[in-house]
Amino acid sequence: MSAHILVVEPETALQAALSSWLEWEGYDCAVASDPEEALAIAEHDRADVALVSDHAAAWDACGLAGELKSLREDLAIIVLCGAGRRRCRVERSLDVIEEIPAPITRGAVTQAVTRAVRWREAPAKDRQAVLAYQEATARRAAELREACRQMTDVDVVVGLKSPVGALMEGRNPGAVAHAMRVTEMAQLLGSVLKLTPRALAALERAAFLHDLGKAALPDELLQKPTPLTDLEIGLLRRHPLIAYDILSEIPLFEDAAPIVMSTQERFDGRGYPRGLAALEIPMAARVISLVDAFDLLTTGHPLGLRMSLPEACAELVRGAGVQFDPDLVRLWLRLADTSHPREPIPGASHRTPGAFSVI
């Protein structure tokens, strides 16, 4: 049976877009333009998930969420944040609460609704386990947020000695070394791309902090000896949003926050958390995605394997146009001091020796 989604959105155009996106995915939708209509629908009709728009001039999204939950205790609620984003503080008694930051995309909405529906359908023990993980994540995120508030641009360079670097390393030994390598390689590509000083600074900060959200996830989840449930996988895939939530409130990182949020997107549109594709993905995020993968392939951490430079470049070639921006792959291969990859792509045959001193 199809899940029933309640869309609470005052703007007619966005209301129509949200409902059409979800109906295309096979969900049944009901729409409401104001809190009174939403409460009436929730009281008299079935609703599994509610998308509640957070428009400052229209209503208090958190207050409306609480009222909806009082009518339907098992209702899963997702808050759609407006352009002037506010953090929506909702009581922990809510079964599911996600915030989708503006601008709202189809991929972000469908992925969030999929997670919410899976939540409602999961066994009670799995739901309770993820609740515990979420509470632990919130505590760690608060620590990381405070550490990031203490950072300066110098701290991005010194790495482990920075306030947040120590926390990252404590959670995952080797994390700072990886972050520093990714930062240096991203700087190399950014300089070749002739990014503006402001864009290059944002790229540097985002590269260093691209795994920040993972540092907020609890060890019990990251080191779970048994296979992860669908709910747990969904929580893991929220780490870019967790990082965005931390960084977007700090002036030093306001340019870096949306980049970090987009580093797990794929060029073919099958990434997360927003399902962006191709040029929808910020250039800096495409750069970080590429050099992050290259570093993991060549250092073997944490994948448990280590490729040679030619093997790693060939792997990037296979991912060109699928996971990675093909133009950036071509550019990276021109810089690589390695033999010709097994599966060449046009324009990738002339490279400058010695460019990988950063590795």
Render pLDDT for 222-258 as a digit per residue (tens, 0 to 9). 888 888 888 888 889 999 999 999 999 899 999 999 9
Q: Which of 319, 183, 334 lies closest to 259, judged by CA?
A: 183
* Apex 113 CA angle, 286 and 126, nearest 5: 105
Task: Please check whether residue 66 is in contact with residue 92, taking contact to mean a CB–CB distance below 8 angstroms.
Answer: no
Whole-angstrom Cα Rg for the chain: 22
Flag whether pLDDT at 8 surpasses 50: yes
Structure tokens at 239: 């780490």
The whole-chain average pLDDT of the chain stands at 84
Q: Looking at the predicted structure, is the pLDDT value of residue 354 above 50?
A: no
Helix-, strand-, coil-residue percentages of the chain, each rounded to 5:
55, 10, 35
List CB contacts of 306: < 8 A, sequence separation 6 or more: 297, 298, 299, 300
Segment among 131-140, 255-264, 307-316, 339-348 with least mean pLDDT: 339-348
Report the alpha-carbon distance of residue 262 to residue 148 in Å, rounded: 19
Taking Cα atoms as reference points, which of 163, 145, 211, 148 lies closest to residue 183? 211
Provide the pLDDT confidence category of residue 347 given band limits of 50, 70 and 90: very low
State yes or no: pLDDT of 5 exceeds 90.
Answer: yes
- In the DSSP assignment, the letter for residue 339 is P
Residue found by looking up tokens 């995605």 in the block: 289
Q: Is the pTM of this model over 0.75?
A: yes
pLDDT computed for residue 55 by the predictor: 74
Taking the C-alpha atoms of residue 61 and residue 35, their distance in angstroms, rounded to an integer, is 9
Q: Is the pLDDT of residue 10 over 50?
A: yes
In this model, does residue 30 exceed pLDDT 80?
yes
| Section 61-87 average pLDDT | 80
- Give me the phi and psi of 29, to 5 degrees please: -120, 140
What's the whole-number mean pLDDT along residues 88-98? 53
- How many CA atoms does the CB half-sphere of 209 hold within 13 Å? 40
Domain 4-121: CATH superfamily, name plus number? Response regulator (3.40.50.2300)
- 350 closest CA partner among 358, 338, 342: 338
Strands 28-32 and 49-54: unpaired
- For 32, the 3-state DSSP assignment is strand
CATH class given for the domain over 151-335: mainly alpha
Q: At residue 82, what are phi and psi to the nearest 5 degrees? A: -75, 175
Give the per-residue pLDDT at 90. Answer: 42
Contact 3, 22 (CB under 8 A): no
Work out the pLDDT band at 89, boundaries 50, 70, 90.
Answer: very low
β-pairing verdict for 4-8 and 97-100: unpaired
Domains of the chain, by residue range, sit at 4-121, 151-335
Q: What angle do CA 289, 290, 294 make, to 5 degrees?
A: 115
By DSSP bridging, strand 4-8 and strand 49-54 are parallel
Q: How far apart are CA 325 and CA 283, in angstroms?
A: 9
The better pLDDT of the pair 90, 325 is held by 325
Closest CA to 314 of 289, 288, 286, 293: 293
Kindly report, residue by residue over 186-230, the tens digit of the pLDDT.
Answer: 999 999 999 999 999 999 999 999 999 999 999 888 888 888 888
Residue 104 tokens, joined:
């709202």
Mean pLDDT of 183-187: 94
What's the rounded Cα separation, in Å, for the pair 303 and 63? Answer: 44
Q: Look up residue 77 and give its DSSP letter.
A: E
For residue 161, the tally of other CB atoms under 10 A from its CB is 11
